[in-house]
């Protein structure tokens, strides 16, 4: 059984983008996380060590987003998913990275990329069905 924990609306300021002004001036990014893991052990024990410490996780996600500027939000989303999957209890992570101030000439509300990544077990490859 996999339960889901959502942490939404994590805001940070970073310098990602393909244009010089994005790298120079920076902009706001918003991250939504959904983590899949079994909450049963924590529910039974009442111990923080038996769950995902989302306070610590959010700090690590913000650190990952705000460091080392890259061109594409795809790269940032992968970085965030990687942080989530370092938590041993997390089986999968769904990351939505919002770039509400993307350099688009026409009126728009948001640009959002959502990726889902699963923990790979020992011996699992990168085949087309993984």
| Residues carrying an active site annotation | 99
Q: How far apart are CA 79 and CA 48, in angstroms?
A: 25
Q: How far apart are CA 110 and CA 99, in angstroms?
A: 6
Q: How far is CA 117 from its chain centroid?
A: 10
Beta carbons of 55 and 48 less than 8 angstroms apart? no
Q: Find, among 5, 54, 73, the residue nearest to 65 by Cα.
A: 73
What's the N-to-C CA distance of the chain in angstroms?
A: 20
Checking DSSP bridges between strand 3-14 and strand 92-98, what pairing results, if any?
Answer: unpaired
């Amino acid at each position: 059984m996999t339960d889901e924990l959502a942490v939404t609306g994590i805001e940070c300021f970073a310098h990602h983008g393909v244009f010089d002004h994005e790298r120079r001036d920076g902009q706001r990014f918003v991250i939504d996380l959904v983590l899949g893991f079994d909450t049963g052990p924590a529910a039974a024990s009442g111990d923080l060590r038996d769950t995902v410490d989302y306070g610590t996780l959010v700090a690590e996600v913000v650190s990952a987003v705000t460091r080392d500027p890259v061109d594409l939000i795809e790269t940032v989303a992968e970085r965030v998913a990687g942080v989530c999957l370092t938590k041993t209890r997390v089986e999968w992570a769904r990351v939505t990275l919002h770039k509400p101030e993307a350099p688009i000439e026409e009126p728009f509300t948001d640009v959002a990329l959502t990726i889902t990544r699963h923990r790979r077990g020992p011996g699992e490859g990168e085949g087309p069905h993984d």
